[in-house]
């Protein structure tokens, strides 16, 4: 008789506070022992020389999201969670998007259908509120929060998603009453459209000009506006995908005033720059880097690192939003509308699989942050912020046995051919990293092993969540 | 034969930089000599013991403005400019308001008809753009600027005036192209309506709650938004009637970034507080103090003084916007709709006549600012900012012979019965000041003398203006 | 045969990142197992309903320190570490003070003699450099660092301790070369003496005036100066016992510039105020609260809480510096010199025993900070900052089995008669707290139990330390 | 019989507030008329096409200052004031330096002897307090202030001048009691010496390293310290010769807190950079640019312009401190000690003659500041700040008839051969300017005309001064 289903032996356990040599015993998918020596397990993993990290929790991914313009998101739940698993993640949080005019509950249910039976890692959904009718505000949202959908996202731009200030305030008010956490895509819609018209009028239609249309000013202004609305309503919010110094300073200023404003940043803002959207020669290759907010410049990257170090940023997510560059049904190079203007290039890049290695390598390996900080921003804090802690996000007795076994010295070059996502390219092609997740363990089962997916499709489960610790 | 039409003898001349004993000779309405001794004038004014200041330039007054709800503005050009003259002013700048759906040019012409032949002091109009149609943006505004209407005002709140962000950006763009200066009423419309609904739902309908509905957050957010739009378009703007620290800090922050953001404040923000709107016992007397943005608190007053001293504020205007408190056709106490909710109380208080004495007394007499600063903010800077300098705003050879002869030691208690405006009350009833304008001279003619209006109706002329020095 | 010497059963383990139900197995003074269920231990402690925290690490205590004016420090190592143990601490860091003109090494050895065989908790010494001769700088300090004395303290005030700027720079330079961490008592000596003379000249000699002599300006100025010297030398420093907003803002400003400036605060700055030094009626009772920097006011307390929450403060220490109030050989009430002027009142108050309960109660119980933050500032961070981690400061496999078993709901009123320190009073007399350390465990042995000291004198060991993680 | 001794005809009068076409009548050295047309003057100057500015007031010049190391200051009062006159100045303020161990009164008297009968422009002395004995503090300074020496300078560096913090506080206290204004040379002495030793130890002895030894940190720290002392004493001070952003931000921060801290900057900080001290190839030519604080970099120049525009800087002085580069008795190239280390290179560069043209050209001609601002910083504010207004510093009835007649379009290249100072070089050799003072008028007499000195030696008078307007 085995005391344990699994033992992780010989490794170094890392949490958001600590790092120490220990072995881990797992039973029924839970961590039940951490000690000098664990024996009596049915399965043993030799983690000698490896770091045993909590499995990555990616708080911001888009998968199987419907679009209204014929483009197709490159990842469904199957490919998206496969990529996540390969990248050291055990939990991802996709968005259930309300289609305008439709019941939000119905949209959520459709989304569950997409996910069910298809996932390699655990999931839990944020809601996107695009049409805050009295029915949605007064009945659907409160009921959905009670059912464990405890976070919503709202958009301050995109024609089909943008909410007016009045609508934002209404959603914030519901969030306050229900203890739900609102995530805000903060870019000013009218400012973007104003710049877009100006650029188009000047014949500036290449993908590169996406960056100028989604200006820092527009991001900063919307951030200030969102913060102000949250102050008025007295409700915590998360400013997602902060791209640089301007918006970041608004977050810092808000906190200094005692407001509960949380912030997220992403790999693209520490690795890419606006000029990547130039492609080779202002050509369409630049479309591979189009996302919103767009990458800025080296000073913005430095600012983001400052914010990561000084605690401005709570979580580091991928904002995985994958499209294919080529092919019919694809959305990039062969999309005739996109070639007429940057404004038709789908906004989003793939990243769920590369988030952890890039951040580890640029952060921990290069000495910018401690490994505790890495674990905190990529696993512990997202789990806490979105109401999944301590089930997810740490290595502790009673928690899910989710691990990323990490080889801190392994050198890899990121290329499309080693990745598992549905996109046909990666914006990080050729990017060299040191440090790599060599095994991913979800609730005691190895789901990815040295780049091979060994988990079972459908083993990934859906989680209802509790309230955020943001309150 | 007289060399001069008028001599001001025995006084102390004050400009935005200097103060010295000198006499002034005037010919044809212009200053032609400043010297130790001026003789040979047809008329002499003995200014012994008095300060000879440039006549006040009030850059922000409302007169004869049409309303759409049956209320009547308490001042037309006749009473409004009479009050201005009595208060030491020689120039006022009312607003020609575009009525939605109407041509702006036509509205301007109607407004001229109201003014013509009725004014005691010189005037020049700002335009209010409430309906920026392509026609207005593309043709009327450029043509009006060329005709000397070189400043526009836009509103970020009020149901009938509010512009969307897209419209604001369009107006800013026209201003940039035409070198016109945009004045912004910066309060966030949706935030105000959100708070209003909340307060009404809680049965909080007394005038006092106006202050809570027009929150500091709403003012600050809109200020940030306006500044951001101006940054995007790269055009100077004026944030008018800043009420306290929050909005002021946005202006300071913008300047620190190198933006050309100018700021105005008003007497109500250094003398009144939110609690004045409580009236005696949360009663309707509070309506006498309702204006937007509303007065805040003592710390806000302190902040405004800081901003005045450190150069944050460029101009000190009255935002004179007079209503009657009593009577049919009036808008206050006997307005049944206003009694149902603060939101129907007309926003505005009279102040053109008391602006200079209040600011002199609180600022110069109390030692908070130099008299040079007083002259600068109340006369020289508004004249420069709105394109009337050096014709207006200083005492220099060649300038209009506009003076306020000031007795710095005269003590007065402000009461309704000594004022000349059309309102039936003053929010400053009982306010004691030291320092008073004893004579007002417009282009060489005495128009007010010890509280009596001695000028001729219609002597006040209209001025086309040049470009602002804001650019 | 027992697998374990000790098991902590039924409790909730808390670290700087986590909180979870688990049991702990201890062998040879080390933690060897954390699991759902630990059995087979010689001794079991039932921690049901209790929090199992890492033992407190107090990074700043004074014991057995020689004085040159006949006063006697109220705690030697025996009483001081007894008090520490009773208050939930397992490690304290006293200062080995260099007597001017003496070898620092010799002073350290004398100090060891005082400690040896007398301690109830583990100790490690910081050095106080009062006489940085070439011999001290060039030979003694480098050798002492190699021997594990990896932190020095320097003073910017006190006649017998103050270093000139030139000396500070020299000590900083040695610290940089040796990877030692410098702690700075930042108050400006000449500014304090200037104010002291002024106050004395005005007959203001009561203990209360100590607070005015040690002004915020003097603390802020010295903080800025210390930071600047550290910037010039490019070496990390710790600003100890920050008392309020002014000095704190200098720390924040330095960090914003990328400098490695760490900060400590203490219980007195979140509980006491300047007015406590008034005693009952400006009498000598006020001397019980005299310490440097002195407590300030309620806004300063609020500022300190802001800094604790936002990460400005790295560690929360007691600055235990105990004197007796009464009696011959004592230093307070019966000290004739002290009665002639506040400047002769010994600077320091007792606090090693009350640090944890006060901070827990005011912080965790009152909802100002999480319990993880509490553990971090009082145990984990001091252990890391002073080179004792992971031996000290956490609950992890391989760490010393040091615990404070905490009853989060226990209500206590702090009074002198329940304390174990050598002072004859506590400045916190009557202070009510919720949350209390009911058992203290040092390397697997219970040393304090419900207020009784059950450890053995001399069980507390001396630790050589590694380098700080500040570098 | 002539009504006027002199008329300035056809020019454009400029003051700190205004600009207008007018003519000026002068009698007995005073301005008695400003008007459209002045006739009846014994002498007429045709100022057609010229600006008529108030004569320059240079608040910071060194002349005939004794040195203790055999070097000789390159200007005595004769050559120094000759240069000043040629550069458009009518008043200069040299320093009467107390020699350690000597009575300050005696030093002042010696200094008067040097000046008497030798000056081309008016002068008034600041005092330098280098030895604040009780006699100096208690008797000499109060008496000297009563005699019109209403400003002192103190040094925070230089072996023979540096005051301790205790001494600084004492001098500030006297200033407060006597309403005298203290000017502070703010650089931290020990920090400079520390860096100097480090640099010398590394063999870095070329003049270039002067800049590194006088670091920004040392300047900023001393500025903060001076401001803190002033705050403690509650007395206004002037931070002289601010070199860049770091020190400037301390001034801004102090003002934001309501402190009366005034600031001066100089031509070298908007034109020169640290690299100028490299000479051609790290050679001794760099010594021509050695001054303290040293010039920094282009960002510092940008910062200084920001501070000029936003009102941080009150006055723009030359800090004229001239040495000869060549020759025996000289101090530069042929000074053997200076060649052994930068620390022996005399600190100072000539600039009284080029201050106005450089600032006009870089500021007004290039559109960075208005001409009113130029007049304010170079004439009106120094006159006010140092108690000479309205006798000096403006063009107003009753003021001294001091003018710089300025040709705003004249292009000049600054070269040593067109200058009148005693130095044998100018650090601005080859610098091109647009705008030049073509005539200088002192109390109604032309003293410089197109580069020729036409005034009489000794016509320049000494002025006792009133109190500063800084209080």
Query: How confident is the model at residue C1, as a pLDDT?
Result: 59
- Can chain D be said to touch chain A, i.e. do they have 3 or more Cβ pairs within 8 angstroms? no
Question: Taking residues D452-459, what's their average pLDDT?
Answer: 98
Residues D390, B20: C-beta atoms closer than 8 Å: yes
Q: What is the side-by-side order of every strand in the sheet holding B30-35?
A: B41-46, B4-9, B23-27, B30-35, D30-35, D23-27, D4-9, D41-46
Q: Which of D17, D52, D305, D372 to mutate to test the interface with B (most CBs of B within 10 A)?
A: D17
Residues D36, B398: C-beta atoms closer than 8 Å: yes
Q: Domain for residue C414, yes or no?
A: no
C21-53 pLDDT, tens digit per residue, is 999 999 999 999 999 999 999 999 999 999 999
D106 touches D460 (CB < 8 A):
no
ipTM field: 0.96
Q: How confident is the model at residue C332 (pLDDT cuts 50, 70, 90)?
A: confident
Residues A228, B188: C-beta atoms closer than 8 Å: yes
Q: Nearest Cβ partner of D32 from B36, B311, B372? A: B36
Query: How confident is the model at residue A334, as a pLDDT?
Result: 84
Summary mean pLDDT of chain D: 96
User: SS3 of A411, please?
Assistant: strand
Q: Domain for residue B318, yes or no?
A: yes
Q: How confident is the model at residue C377 (pLDDT cuts 50, 70, 90)?
A: very high
Q: Domain for residue A292, yes or no?
A: yes
D344-358 pLDDT, tens digit per residue, is 999 999 999 999 999
Residues B221, A225: C-beta atoms closer than 8 Å: yes
Neighbours of chain C (3+ CB pairs under 8 A): A, D
Residues A215, B221: C-beta atoms closer than 8 Å: no
Q: Domain for residue B311, yes or no?
A: yes
Residue where the block lists tokens 């510092």: D300
Helix, strand, coil shares, percent, chain A, to 5: 35, 25, 45
Residue D236: which CATH number? Answer: 3.20.20.140
Q: How confident is the model at residue D329 (pLDDT cuts 50, 70, 90)?
A: low
Query: How confident is the model at residue D335, as a pLDDT?
Result: 86
Q: Nearest Cβ partner of A190 from B166, B217, B231? A: B166
Q: Distance, in angstroms, between B244 CA and closest chain A CA?
A: 16
Q: Nearest Cβ partner of A390 from C18, C310, C399? A: C18
Rounded distance, CA B321 to CA B158, Å? 15
- Contacts of residue A298, defined as CB under 8 A and 6 or more positions apart, other chains included, come to A273
Q: How confident is the model at residue D1 (pLDDT cuts 50, 70, 90)?
A: low
Chain B residue with CA closest to D36: the answer is B32
Query: How confident is the model at residue B1, as a pLDDT?
Result: 59
Chain D residue with CA closest to C215: the answer is D232
pLDDT tens-place values along chain B, 471 residues long? 578 999 999 999 999 999 999 999 999 999 999 999 999 999 999 999 999 999 999 999 999 998 777 788 999 999 999 999 999 999 999 999 999 999 999 999 999 999 999 999 999 999 999 999 999 999 999 999 999 999 999 999 999 999 999 999 999 999 999 999 999 999 999 999 999 999 999 999 999 999 999 999 999 999 999 999 999 999 999 999 999 999 999 999 999 999 999 999 999 999 999 999 999 888 999 999 999 999 999 999 999 999 999 999 999 999 999 999 998 667 777 888 889 999 999 999 999 999 999 999 999 999 999 999 999 999 999 999 999 999 999 999 999 999 999 999 999 999 999 999 999 999 999 999 999 999 999 999 999 999 999 999 999 999 999 999 998
Residues C231, D217: C-beta atoms closer than 8 Å: yes
Q: Domain for residue C458, yes or no?
A: no
- Find, among D19, D12, D35, the residue nearest to B34 by Cα: D35
**Share of residues in chain C with pLDDT > 70 (%):** 99
Residues B18, D20: C-beta atoms closer than 8 Å: no
Question: Taking residues D439-466, what's their average pLDDT?
Answer: 97
Query: How confident is the model at residue B85, as a pLDDT?
Result: 98
Chain A residue with CA closest to C393: the answer is A18
Beta bridge partners of D20: D13
Check whether C444 has a pLDDT greater than 90: yes
Report residue D310 as tokens: 């936003």
Rounded distance, CA C218 to CA C162, Å? 14
Question: Taking residues C431-460, what's their average pLDDT?
Answer: 98
Q: Domain for residue A230, yes or no?
A: yes
Rounded distance, CA B420 to CA B351, Å? 11
Check whether D237 has a pLDDT greater than 80: yes
Which of B343-375 are b and which e, b meaning 16 or more Cβ less than 10 Å from the residue's Cβ?
Answer: bbbbbbbbbbbbbbbbbbbbbbbeeebbbbbbb
**Is the minimum CB–CB distance between B143 and chain D shorter than 8 Å?**
no
D96-153 pLDDT, tens digit per residue, is 999 999 999 999 999 999 999 999 999 999 999 999 999 999 999 999 999 999 999 9
Helix (H) or strand (E) holding D226: helix D216-233
**Is the minimum CB–CB distance between B64 and chain D shorter than 8 Å?**
no
Residues A25, C35: C-beta atoms closer than 8 Å: yes
Q: Nearest Cβ partner of B228 from A169, A217, A228? A: A217
Query: How confident is the model at residue D332, as a pLDDT?
Result: 72
Query: How confident is the model at residue C153, as a pLDDT?
Result: 98
Rounded distance, CA A375 to CA C308, Å? 22
Which sign, positive or negative, has the C-alpha torsion C417, C423, C425, C430?
Answer: negative
Check whether C354 has a pLDDT greater than 90: yes
Rounded distance, CA A328 to CA D369, Å? 59
B313 touches B238 (CB < 8 A):
no
A28 touches A444 (CB < 8 A):
yes
CB pairs < 8 Å spanning A and B? 70
Rounded distance, CA B120 to CA B421, Å? 13
C177 touches C184 (CB < 8 A):
no
Residues D232, C191: C-beta atoms closer than 8 Å: yes
Query: How confident is the model at residue C69, as a pLDDT?
Result: 75
Q: Domain for residue B377, yes or no?
A: no
Residues 207-266 of D with CB under 8 A from C: 215, 217-218, 220-221, 224-225, 228-229, 231-232
Residues from chain A that touch C28, judged by Cβ atoms under 8 A, are none
- H helices then E strands: how many in chain A? 15, 20
- Find, among D215, D204, D228, D206, the residue nearest to D278 by Cα: D206
Question: Taking residues C244-269, what's their average pLDDT?
Answer: 97
Check whether A1 has a pLDDT greater than 80: no
Check whether A333 has a pLDDT greater than 80: no
**Share of residues in chain C with pLDDT > 90 (%):** 94
- Contacts of residue A197, defined as CB under 8 A and 6 or more positions apart, other chains included, come to none
- Contacts of residue C280, defined as CB under 8 A and 6 or more positions apart, other chains included, come to none
**Share of residues in chain D with pLDDT > 90 (%):** 94
Check whether C463 has a pLDDT greater than 70: yes
> HEC profile for chain C?
CCCEEEEEECCEEECCCCEEECEEEEECCEEEEEECCCCCEEEEEECCCCEEEECEEEEEECCCCCCCCCCCECCCHHHHHHHHHHCCEEEEEEEEECCCCCCHHHHHHHHHHHHCCCCCCEECCEEECCCCCHHHHHHHHHHHHHCCCCEEEEECCCCCCECCHHHHHHHHHHHHHHCCEEEEECCCHHHHHHHHHHHHHCCCCCCCHHHHHCCHHHHHHHHHHHHHHHHHHCCCEEECCCCCHHHHHHHHHHHHCCCCEEEEECCHHHHCCHHHHHCCCCCHHHHHHCCCCCCCCHHHHHHHHHHHHHCCCCEECCCECCECCCCCCCCCCCCHHHHHCHHHCCCCECCCCCHHHHHHHHHHHCCCCCHHHHHHHHHHHHHHHCCCCCCCCCCCCCCECCEEEEEEEEEEECCHHHCCCCCCCCCCCCCEEEEEEEEEEECCEEEEECCEECCCCCCCCECCCCCCCCC
Q: Which of B9, B17, B19 to mutate to test the interface with D (most CBs of D within 10 A)?
A: B17
Query: How confident is the model at residue B422, as a pLDDT?
Result: 96
A131-173 pLDDT, tens digit per residue, is 999 999 999 999 999 999 999 999 999 999 999 999 999 999 9
How many folded domains does chain A comprise? 1
Neighbours of chain A (3+ CB pairs under 8 A): B, C
Domain that holds residue B155: 56-365
Residues C35, A33: C-beta atoms closer than 8 Å: yes
CB pairs < 8 Å spanning C and D? 70
Per DSSP, which regions of A114-219 are E strands?
122-123, 126-128, 151-155, 181-185
Phi, psi angles (nearest 5°) of residue B44 = -120, 140
Question: How distant is the alpha carbon of residue B171 from its chain centre?
Answer: 22
Q: How confident is the model at residue C2 (pLDDT cuts 50, 70, 90)?
A: confident
Q: Nearest Cβ partner of A394 from C17, C25, C33? A: C17
Phi, psi angles (nearest 5°) of residue A234 = 65, 60
Q: What angle do CA A302, A306, A308 make, to 5 degrees?
A: 115
Check whether A2 has a pLDDT greater than 80: no
Report residue A448 as tokens: 């990815």
> HEC profile for chain B?
CCCEEEEEECCEEECCCCEEECEEEEECCEEEEEECCCCCEEEEEECCCCEEEECEEEEEECCCCCCCCCCCCCCCHHHHHHHHHHCCEEEEEEEEECCCCCCHHHHHHHHHHHHCCCCCCEECCEEECCCCCHHHHHHHHHHHHHCCCCEEEEECCCCCCECCHHHHHHHHHHHHHHCCEEEEECCCHHHHHHHHHHHHHCCCCCCCHHHHHCCHHHHHHHHHHHHHHHHHHCCCEEECCCCCHHHHHHHHHHHHCCCCEEEEECCHHHHCCHHHHHCCCCCHHHHHHCCCCCCCCHHHHHHHHHHHHCCCCCEECCCECCCCCCCCCCCCCCCHHHHHCHHHCCCCECCCCCHHHHHHHHHHHCCCCCHHHHHHHHHHHHHHHCCCCCCCCCCCCCCECCEEEEEEEEEEECCHHHCCCCCCCCCCCCCEEEEEEEEEEECCEEEEECCEECCCCCCCCECCCCCCCCC
Q: Distance, in angstroms, between D307 CA and closest chain B CA?
A: 10
Q: Domain for residue C315, yes or no?
A: yes
C209-218 pLDDT, tens digit per residue, is 999 999 999 9
Report residue B190 as tokens: 């949706």
């Amino acid at each position: 008789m085995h005391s344990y289903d699994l033992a992780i032996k010989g490794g170094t356990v890392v949490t958001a506070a600590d790092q120490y040599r220990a072995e881990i015993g797992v039973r029924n998918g839970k961590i039940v022992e951490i000690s000098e020596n664990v024996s009596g397990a049915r399965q043993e993993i030799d983690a000698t020389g490896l770091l045993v990290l909590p499995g990555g929790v990616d708080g911001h991914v888009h998968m199987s999201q419907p679009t209204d313009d014929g483009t197709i998101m490159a990842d469904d739940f199957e490919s998206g969670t496969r990529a996540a698993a390969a990248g050291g993640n055990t939990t991802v949080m996709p968005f259930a998007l309300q289609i305008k005019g439709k019941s939000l509950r119905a949209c959520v249910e459709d989304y569950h259908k997409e996910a069910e039976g298809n996932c390699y890692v655990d999931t839990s959904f944020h809601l996107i509120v695009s049409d805050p009718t009295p029915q949605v505000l007064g009945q659907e949202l409160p009921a959905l929060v009670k059912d464990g959908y405890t976070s919503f996202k709202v958009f301050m731009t995109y024609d089909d998603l943008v909410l007016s200030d009045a609508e934002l305030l209404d959603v914030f008010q519901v969030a306050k009453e229900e203890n739900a956490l609102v995530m805000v895509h903060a870019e000013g819609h009218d400012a973007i459209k104003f710049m877009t018209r100006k650029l188009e009028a000047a014949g500036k239609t290449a993908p590169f000009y996406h960056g100028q249309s989604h200006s820092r000013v527009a991001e900063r202004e919307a951030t200030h506006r969102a913060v102000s609305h949250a102050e008025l309503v007295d409700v915590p919010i998360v400013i997602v995908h902060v791209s640089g110094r301007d918006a970041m300073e608004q977050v810092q200023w808000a906190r200094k005033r005692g407001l509960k404003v949380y912030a997220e940043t992403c790999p693209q803002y520490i690795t890419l720059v606006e000029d990547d959207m130039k492609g080779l020669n202002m050509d369409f290759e630049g479309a591979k880097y189009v996302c919103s907010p767009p990458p800025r410049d080296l000073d913005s990257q430095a600012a983001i690192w400052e914010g990561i170090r000084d605690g401005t940023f709570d979580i580091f997510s991928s904002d995985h939003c994958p499209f294919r560059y080529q092919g019919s049904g694809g959305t990039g190079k062969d999309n005739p509308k996109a070639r007429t203007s940057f404004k038709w290039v789908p906004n989003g890049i793939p990243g769920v699989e590369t988030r952890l290695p890039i951040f580890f390598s640029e952060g921990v390996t290069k000495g910018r942050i401690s490994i505790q900080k890495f674990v905190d921003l990529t696993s512990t804090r997202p789990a806490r912020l979105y109401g999944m802690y301590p089930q997810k996000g740490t290595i502790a007795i009673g928690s899910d046995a989710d691990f990323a076994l990490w080889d801190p010295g392994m050198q890899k070059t990121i290329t499309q051919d080693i990745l598992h996502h549905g996109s046909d390219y990666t914006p990080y092609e050729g990017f060299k990293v040191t440090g790599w997740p060599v095994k991913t363990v979800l609730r005691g089962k190895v789901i990815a092993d040295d780049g091979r997916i060994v988990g079972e499709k459908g083993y990934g489960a859906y989680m209802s969540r509790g309230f955020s610790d943001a309150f």
